[in-house]
Each structure stands twice: as C-alpha cells, then as structure tokens.
C-alpha cells in the first residue's frame, strides 16, 4: 500500500512538472534581425512619423488588430502601463469612483488611483471568480464613472450584462484580459468586449515578450489618447492640435522593437498554446469531477476558457480535511497547489491606511470627493471566502505538459483521496 509523501512515502512526481516555455527559433531569429538593424526602438516623443514607433511595433499592432478583429491595438511596455493609460484615456479623475475587482493582480485596481480616482471594490461571482454584475449594480453611486473588469484565471467576465449596466449608467468599461488572451465569449475574443481591453505580455502570461502590454479599442478617439499618454502627451498635443487636454500628462510607456519582434512571433503561437491548455484542462476536469469536495473550473455556455491557472474550489466540510492540509499533501506529491490566490486587494495597507499620494491621504481625502467608500473586512464576502477558505489553483494546463504529466496530476489527487482519513 502506498504511503503519502507527506509522511515519507515516495511522491507521485519525483521530478518537477515541466516548465512552461514558448520561446523558440522563431523568436531568436526575429531578435537577431532587430539587432542586425541596430535600431532597438524608433519612438520619438514629438509629433513626427516616429511618434507611433518603429516598424516592429507597427507590425505587431497591425497583426494584433487583425487577429482580435479590432480597429486599434496600442502596444505598451506592460499591461500595468496599459491599464493606467486606459484609465487616463477614459478621462476620469479626482472625485470619480471606478468599480474594480478585489480578486486580481493589484495593478487592475491601482490604475484608478493613478488618476486620483477612488477604487470601489465589487464582489465576485463564486463560479467564475470574475466581477458579479449584481454586485457591480449595488456599488454604483452618482460618483461612478468607470468599471475595470478582469477575466480572471482566463474565464471571461459576464460582459453582456456588464455592458448593459454600463450603458444604463453611462460608464466606461475597461476589460483586463491579461490572463485571457484567446479566450472567447459568445464567439468574440476576451479583451474586445468592452470600451478598451488590456493584454499582458509579461513572462508569466500565456504569450510573452519579456515585459509588454497591448490595449485594444474600436474607438478612434480613445486610441489616439492612449497613444498620447504612451508617448509624452504634454509635448505633443500642441503640434498635433489636440484640444481635449484632460489627463494628457504623458509617460514613456513605449515598447521596444525587440519586444515587438518577439511578441509578433508569440501571437502566431497563441492559438496552439491555448488549444493545449483547453485540452489539458478538459482532461483534468473529466478525471477530477467525481472527487467529493472538489469543484473543477466552471465554464459558462458560449465561453472558451483561457486556463491561465486551473482553479478549483475545495470544500473542507466534505473531505474533513483543511484546505491547507490537502494542498500540503498534494504539494508533497510533487504537484504544487496554490492557496487562495491574491489577498482581497482592499485588505492591503494602501487601502487600510488610505495613503496613496502624499502624506495626507489623497485621493481618499480629496474634498471634491462626494462619496463614501469602505475598505472594511467583509465588504466582499465571496472574494474573502475564496481567498481564505475555498480556492486552490495549480499551473496544470500549460502547453509543455504531456499526457503523462497530466496523468500524474490525476494520480496525485487520487492518492491523496485514498489516504484522506490519515490527514486529520
Ligand atoms: C499580469 C497581470 C497584470 C499586469 O501585467 P503586467 O504586464 O505585468 O503589467 C494585470 N492584470 C492581471 C489580471 C494580470 O494577471
């Protein structure tokens, strides 16, 4: 009879699962071509042809527009920059509230703070972990101007309902699809479902170029504002004849030619990489579905999940074993499971202490802010339940895992279940 690795038995996996690796000869050749040219970035922060960047940046943007069927793709040096630029382009500012998710990478919420807005945290849906439309409605006040929705773990948010709410209240919607490139919702790509969508090309994402981000939109005016914010807007507006100066403080958010060349090659691989993720997740879900106390990722009808992580819900009441203990047992088998994902963002010191810009608590203390926001523990009970009690996630779906690796994952789960009574 086997013995749990936690108690000294031999683990299901003696060696770690393969790492995710997407960089190959194509990317190497593309980078070498840039180096041979010698122009590593062609951007100029003045109103000139080079205001829009060099040939690889342009090629990437046109390819991204064609792939995602959008009018504009604006490349940047990260998705964080993209979120910031999107909030700036939206024209919101001090005194305004932006509804955000508490269950995401911190940048999806701090983008609102960067422009002096107040992030208001709505709760998530307990099945997809994305913002719940009902909770969004409950958070709307006369101050609300925008919503930042996140397609967390790769599952698109409930965008039809959210866009309907936005239309009723005249709100701008930004979709953070950093974790969902290639995922679809009613036959449209995640990231293209809102006024602006933001993708990440950072090393940890489905496709990457080191550091990078892309914002997409079908709105010509928003696209031009994004390009201005990306590239020193304040010194460009006069010669370009820009009259709407709201949030036209510029940055250097520009992508280099090297990153753009890599990203163009990565985009060609996206469909294949995603298809592997979906196939792996479908296999795991079929195999793990029967296990008591485990709820595999739910996929809503008309959705293709992006499976950035394989996120499952765990019910300790059904197994009699705590989530921490269960994860420790599986991790000991060589199959690392993460607990809870990120802490609800409003519990971080920035929000608890309400200190962001300067020492006097701007924007929370801004006299022009007429609202009253709460960051108390308990404001988002579903998020807190997922983080503190139920959610487990593993990097179990990526394209470098072979069938034998996936079978090991399943064997690991089954082994822990066989011994579950020993874990008390
Ligand atoms: C990774 C990530 C970001 C930030 O992406 P960067 O390119 O690293 O700035 C934003 N939002 C979500 C949901 C992410 O996962």
107 lines ligand 1 (CB under 6 A): yes
Burial class (CB in 10 A: 0-12, 13-18, 19+), 376: exposed
Q: What is the domain-level CATH number for residue 55?
A: 3.40.640.10
- Is 331 inside a domain boundary? no
Burial class (CB in 10 A: 0-12, 13-18, 19+), 157: buried
- Is 363 inside a domain boundary? no
- Is 417 inside a domain boundary? no
178 lines ligand 1 (CB under 6 A): yes
- Domain of residue 86 covers 25-266
210 lines ligand 1 (CB under 6 A): no
Alpha-carbon separation of residue 300 from 92, 159, 161, 286, 312 (angstroms): 32, 12, 14, 16, 15
Q: What is the rounded distance in angstroms from the CA atom of residue 190 to the CA atom of residue 238?
A: 36
- Is 271 inside a domain boundary? no
Residue 294: both structure tokens together: 């485990």
> Cα(213) to centroid of ligand 1, in Å?
8
* Ligand 1 atom nearest to CA at 200: 7
Model's pTM, two decimal places?
0.98
Burial class (CB in 10 A: 0-12, 13-18, 19+), 223: buried
Q: Counting runs of H as helices and runs of E as strands, what totals does the chain give?
A: 14, 14
DSSP 350: I
> Cα(418) to centroid of ligand 1, in Å?
38
Residue 420: both structure tokens together: 């579950």
373 three-class SS = coil
Q: What is the rounded distance in angstroms from the CA atom of residue 137 to the CA atom of residue 162?
A: 9
108 lines ligand 1 (CB under 6 A): yes
Residue 409: both structure tokens together: 């994952």
Alpha-carbon separation of residue 40 from 36, 49, 53, 421 (angstroms): 10, 17, 11, 60
- Is 48 inside a domain boundary? yes
* Ligand 1 atom nearest to CA at 104: 13
266 lines ligand 1 (CB under 6 A): no
Per DSSP, the residues of 126-137 read TTT-SBPHHHHH
- Is 327 inside a domain boundary? no
Q: Are 149 and 157 in contact (CB under 8 A)?
A: yes
The alpha carbon of residue 123 and the mean position of all alpha carbons in its chain are separated, in whole angstroms, by 16
58 three-class SS = helix
259 lines ligand 1 (CB under 6 A): no
Q: Are 151 and 128 in contact (CB under 8 A)?
A: no
177 lines ligand 1 (CB under 6 A): no
Per DSSP, the residues of 110-152 read HHHHHTTPEEEEPPBPTTT-SBPHHHHHHH--TTEEEEEEE-G
Of the candidates 191, 211, 231, the residue with the CA atom closest to the CA atom of residue 89 = 231
Q: Are 265 and 26 in contact (CB under 8 A)?
A: yes
* Ligand 1 atom nearest to CA at 308: 15
* Ligand 1 atom nearest to CA at 150: 13
- Is 176 inside a domain boundary? yes
> Cα(289) to centroid of ligand 1, in Å?
30
Q: What is the rounded distance in angstroms from the CA atom of residue 202 to the CA atom of residue 191?
A: 16
209 lines ligand 1 (CB under 6 A): no
Domain count within the chain = 1
Residue of 74, 200, 255, 308 with the most ligand 1 atoms within 8 Å of its CB, for mutation: 200
Alpha-carbon separation of residue 99 from 37, 111, 172, 251, 256 (angstroms): 45, 11, 10, 24, 32
Of the candidates 161, 155, 160, the residue with the CA atom closest to the CA atom of residue 176 = 155
Residue 222: both structure tokens together: 């928003």
- The 3 state secondary structure assigned to 231-264 is ECHHHCHHHHCCCCCCCCCCCECCCCHHHHHHHH
> Cα(318) to centroid of ligand 1, in Å?
34
> Cα(414) to centroid of ligand 1, in Å?
33
DSSP 367: T
User: pLDDT in tens for each of the 424 residues of the chain?
Assistant: 589 999 999 999 999 999 999 999 999 999 999 999 999 999 999 999 999 999 999 999 999 999 999 999 999 999 999 999 999 999 999 999 999 999 999 999 999 999 999 999 999 999 999 999 999 999 999 999 999 999 999 999 999 999 999 999 999 999 999 999 999 999 999 999 999 999 999 999 999 999 999 999 999 999 999 999 999 999 999 999 999 999 999 999 999 999 999 999 999 999 999 999 999 999 999 999 999 999 999 999 999 999 999 999 999 999 999 999 999 999 999 999 999 999 999 999 999 999 999 999 999 999 999 999 999 999 999 999 999 999 999 999 999 999 999 999 999 999 999 999 999 8
Phi/psi region, residue 97 (left: phi>0; alpha: psi -120 to 50; beta: rest), is beta
Residue 137: both structure tokens together: 């409605």
Of the candidates 312, 284, 318, 319, the residue with the CA atom closest to the CA atom of residue 298 = 312
- Is 339 inside a domain boundary? no
110 lines ligand 1 (CB under 6 A): no
Please tell me the predicted confidence (pLDDT) of residue 1: 59
Report cis status (omega within 30 of 0) of the bond before 327.
Answer: no
């Amino acid at each position: 009879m086997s013995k749990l690795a936690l108690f000294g038995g031999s683990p299901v996996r003696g060696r770690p699962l393969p790492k995710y690796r997407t960089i190959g000869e194509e990317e190497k050749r593309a980078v070498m071509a840039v180096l041979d040219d010698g122009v590593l970035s062609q951007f100029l922060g003045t109103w000139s042809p080079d205001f829009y960047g060099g040939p690889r940046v342009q090629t990437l943007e046109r390819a991204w527009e064609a792939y995602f069927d959008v009018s504009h793709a604006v490349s940047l040096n990260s998705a964080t920059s993209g979120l910031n630029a999107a909030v700036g382009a939206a024209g919101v500012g001090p005194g305004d509230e932006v509804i955000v998710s508490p269950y995401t990478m911190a940048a999806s919420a701090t983008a609102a703070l960067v422009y002096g807005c107040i992030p208001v945290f709505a709760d998530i849906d307990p099945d997809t972990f994305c913002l719940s439309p009902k909770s969004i409605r409950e958070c709307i006040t006369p101050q609300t101007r925008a919503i930042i929705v996140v397609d967390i773990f790769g599952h698109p948010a409930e965008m039809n309902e959210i866009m309907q709410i936005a239309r009723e209240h005249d709100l701008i919607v930004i979709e953070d699809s950093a974790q969902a490139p290639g995922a679809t919702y009613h036959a449209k790509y995640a990231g293209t479902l809102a006024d602006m969508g933001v993708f990440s090309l950072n090393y940890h994402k489905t496709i990457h170029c080191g550091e990078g981000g892309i914002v997409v939109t079908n709105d010509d005016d928003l696209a031009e504002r994004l390009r201005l914010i990306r590239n020193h807007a304040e010194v460009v507006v006069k010669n370009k004849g820009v009259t709407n100066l709201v949030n036209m403080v510029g940055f250097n958010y520009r992508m280099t030619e090297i990153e753009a060349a890599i990203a163009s090659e990565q985009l060609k691989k996206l469909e294949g990489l995603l298809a592997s993720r979906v196939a792996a997740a479908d296999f795991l879900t079929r195999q793990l579905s029967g296990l008591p106390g485990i709820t595999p990722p739910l996929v809503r009808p008309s959705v293709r999940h992006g499976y950035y992580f394989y996120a499952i819900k765990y019910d300790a009441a059904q197994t009699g074993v705590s989530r921490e203990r269960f994860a420790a047992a599986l991790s000991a088998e060589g199959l690392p499971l993460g607990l809870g994902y990120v802490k609800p963002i409003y519990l971080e010191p920035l929000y608890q202490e309400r200190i962001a810009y300067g020492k006097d608590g701007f924007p929370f203390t801004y006299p022009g802010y007429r609202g009253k926001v709460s960051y108390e523990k308990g404001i988002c009970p579903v998020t807190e339940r997922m983080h503190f009690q139920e959610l487990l996630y593993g990097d179990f779906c990526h394209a470098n895992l072979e069938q034998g690796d996936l079978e090991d994952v399943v064997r690991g789960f089954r082994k822990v279940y066989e011994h579950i009574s020993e874990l008390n």
